Structure 1
Amino acid sequence: MDNLGQKAQNVISMGSFQTDTGFAALAQVEAYWEALRGTRLMPRRAEIDPRGIEQVLEYAFIVERIAPGIARLRVAGSHLSDIMGMEVRGMPLTSFFAPSARRRVSDMLEEVFETPAQSTLKLTSELEHGRPPLEARMLLLPLKSDLGDVSRILGCLVAQGDLGTTPRRFDITTSDLRTITAGNGEGVMPAPQPSKKQPVPQPMLHGMAEAPAGFEGKAIGNRRPPYLRLVKSDD
């Protein structure tokens, strides 16, 4: 992931973004995406720096398109895990939806990737035994991969209310799809200014780091330094 400069340079004005009460996190993620893309259609996945949305990181996620209509979570904030009651990385985004809504979500994902477009979904989870009603919003914003194809989405999911018994799944109340045109550059982030004393590179936050695929292992508290072992053989 590229270092986009100091934290102060990632502060973005929110004045031009309209928000629903309680769902301001979506506007902040959208503002960050707009600032990153400048005059382009969209930013690249490698440009996403968690420090740019650190106040709403728990609601953010990144999915990767792995097949038509199927996108798996590569990165997910803690709020998404709370909604499902489990670790959600690696799960398809449709897992957050009721079975009756999943086809619609798959079609929406294809529109976001192929058009390209951005989408906002209004969601509800109905009252059930042990599950109070929930209202939620989801935002989907396309990203280019390092290869230049549109195969990633920066998203935001916010659910309001008592989660109750998990997992919670949603139905779609309304959806809005907007075709993307080139940005006007008004929100573009300023380039880092040269200074006499160059800052020491800081390690990236783990909030938007993608876990290596295909490997799971136990955490080791006190790792020994790597070493070689000489094996003697008389053969």
Structure 2
Amino acid sequence: MTIFLGGRSRAETGNVISMDRFRSGRSVSPIRQAEAYWSALRRQGDVPKRSDIDPRGLENILEYTFILERIAPGVARFRLAGNHLSRILGMEVRGMPVTALFSAMARAEAAAALEHIFLAPAIAELSLISANNSGAVPQVEARTILLPLKSDQGGVSRALGVLVADGPLGAGGLRFDIASSNLRKIDARLAQSNVEPALGLAEDQARISRNAPGLRVVSRED
């Protein structure tokens, strides 16, 4: 099945950047692969557009990949997400705020990192550890990278993300604390983000499909 991340297919333009050109064996992590792909899409140091992202270029890491949309200061929701993220949360994540990944104590820091990504703009890398007070369940470590994207209207209000968890996911329902964060500002000459009209978070939730590979389309982007 062909999955399109945006409103138009890259097949129409013939402009596909494959991850294979960046791969150096299995030692290259999904996070580094995603950053290399995103960097290859930049033109003269600019932030890539959301419509530049082609799933064929991320084919071997789609299960770890997601797209965020900024809908208010410090608030972003999942527009698309791979099955790995759905397994972590134990549910389909479409329409959910990204803060659903984090414990109550970590959400303010996560929201601040989001604002930095969209307004600086900046790349964020976070090291995460599952919030576990009882010690009865093994802790899960995870890493994520968030890479800013422009909407077709020109504002930096989208982000390409990859999250990889290492440890037993069980039935899901995990929430994470932030163990460390690294924010890297890019190209200070770029215009700041414009917040586009919020569409709300009241999208129907669906049961997780553990047999469906790749990304699940939430709704069509502009």
TM range (shorter): 0.7 to 0.9
Give the TM-score normalised by the residue count of structure 1.
Answer: 0.72
What is the DSSP-based 3-state SS (H/G/I as helix, E as strand, rest coil) of the residue aligned with 1:11? Answer: helix
| Alignment partner, residue 47 of structure 1 | 52
Map Cα deviations across residues 40-98 of structure 1 (whole Å, 9 max, x no partner): 32100001100001100000000100000000000000000000111001000010000
Counterpart residue type for residue 93 of structure 2: V
Taking structure 1 as reference, are residues 130 and 91 closer, same or farther at Cα in structure 2, changes over 3 Å only? farther
**Residue 164 (1) aligns with residue 170 (2):** yes
CA distance in 2, matches of 1:30, 1:9: 13
Counterpart residue type for residue 172 of structure 2: T
What is the DSSP-based 3-state SS (H/G/I as helix, E as strand, rest coil) of the residue aligned with 1:79? Answer: helix
Counterpart residue type for residue 162 of structure 1: P
Q: Give the one of 159, 166, 178 matched to 1:153.
A: 159
- Is there any run of 5+ residues in structure 2 with no aligned partner, and where? 1-7, 189-212
- Equivalent residues in 2 for 1:8-87 (5 A)? 11-14=20-23, 24-87=29-92
| Alignment partner, residue 124 of structure 1 | 129
| Alignment partner, residue 207 of structure 1 | 215
Give the TM-score normalised by the residue count of structure 2.
Answer: 0.76
Counterpart residue type for residue 179 of structure 2: T
What is the DSSP-based 3-state SS (H/G/I as helix, E as strand, rest coil) of the residue aligned with 2:169? Answer: coil
CA distance in 2, matches of 1:33, 1:71: 20
Q: Give the one of 133, 142, 149 matched to 1:143.
A: 149
What is the DSSP-based 3-state SS (H/G/I as helix, E as strand, rest coil) of the residue aligned with 2:38? Answer: helix
| Alignment partner, residue 191 of structure 2 | none
What is the DSSP-based 3-state SS (H/G/I as helix, E as strand, rest coil) of the residue aligned with 2:14? Answer: coil
Query: Percentage identity across aligned positions?
Result: 48
CA distance in 2, matches of 1:105, 1:54: 28
CA distance in 1, matches of 2:143, 2:154: 29
CA distance in 1, matches of 2:38, 2:74: 23
CA distance in 1, matches of 2:72, 2:111: 10
What is the DSSP-based 3-state SS (H/G/I as helix, E as strand, rest coil) of the residue aligned with 2:21? Answer: coil
CA distance in 2, matches of 1:176, 1:8: 27
CA contact (8 A) 1:14 1:31 kept: no
CA contact (8 A) 1:14 1:27 kept: no
Kindly state the Cα deviation for residue 130 of structure 1 after the two structures are TM-superposed. 5.9
CA contact (8 A) 1:7 1:52 kept: yes
Counterpart residue type for residue 159 of structure 1: A
- In the TM superposition, structure 1's runs of 4+ consecutive aligned residues that sit over 6 Å from their partners are none
CA distance in 2, matches of 1:7, 1:179: 27
Kindly state the Cα deviation for residue 132 of structure 1 after the two structures are TM-superposed. 1.7
Larger radius of gyration: 1
Instruction: Please give the root-mean-square deviation of Cα atoms over the aligned residues, in Å.
Output: 2.6
- Residues paired across the two proteins, number: 186
Taking structure 1 as reference, are residues 9 and 64 closer, same or farther at Cα in structure 2, changes over 3 Å only? closer
CA contact (8 A) 1:140 1:154 kept: yes
72-81 or 173-182: bigger deviation: 173-182
